[in-house]
């Protein structure tokens, strides 16, 4: 199992760079855990699944899973914000830094 800790910048961009550095092109992301300063997730619109609905937020606890195909992360997360509200979906972007970081645990395929 590999651990990639993302401690600054955009999670998707940083993870993609670290995967390339390690030569990881295919993997199962078995766990994502940490916190982010900001996030954007996408879902399908209920009455038109071909249309994407984007949701953004800030200061969230994050957990998730995903896959790496051709060196490209496909991450599905739940982002819990103050008050217990949770936003879930495909992670498009998330910013970490300062006290915030994400640990990504993956198994190479």
CATH class for the domain made up of 2-108: alpha beta
Structure tokens at 59: 């200061």
Residues counted in the chain = 109
Q: What is the mean pLDDT of residues 85-102?
A: 95
Task: Kindly report which listed range (24-28, 45-49, 91-95) carries the lowest average pLDDT score.
Answer: 45-49
In the beta sheet, which residues pair with residue 73?
Answer: 68
Q: What is the 3-state secondary structure (H, E, C) of 39-57?
A: EEEEEEECCEEEEEEEEEE
For residue 51, the Cα-to-chain-centroid distance in whole angstroms is: 21
Q: What is the mean pLDDT of residues 92-109?
A: 96
With bands split at pLDDT 50, 70 and 90, how would you rate the model's confidence at 89?
A: very high
Query: What are the residue ranges spanned by the domains of the chain?
Result: 2-108
Q: What is the mean pLDDT of the chain?
A: 96
Q: What is the mean pLDDT of residues 25-52?
A: 95
Q: What is the mean pLDDT of residues 21-30?
A: 98
In contact, 47 and 21? CB cutoff 8 Å: no
């Amino acid at each position: 199992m590999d651990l990639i800790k993302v401690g600054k910048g955009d999670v998707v961009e940083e993870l993609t760079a670290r995967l390339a550095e390690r030569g990881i092109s295919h993997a199962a992301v078995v766990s994502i855990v940490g916190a982010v300063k900001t996030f954007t997730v996408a879902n399908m619109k209920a009455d038109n699944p071909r249309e994407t609905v984007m949701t953004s937020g800030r200061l969230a606890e994050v957990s998730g899973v995903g896959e790496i195909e051709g060196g490209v992360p496909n991450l599905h997360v739940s982002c819990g914000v103050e008050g217990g509200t949770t936003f879930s979906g495909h992670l498009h972007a998330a910013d970490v830094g300062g006290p915030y970081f994400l640990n990504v645990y993956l198994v190479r395929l």
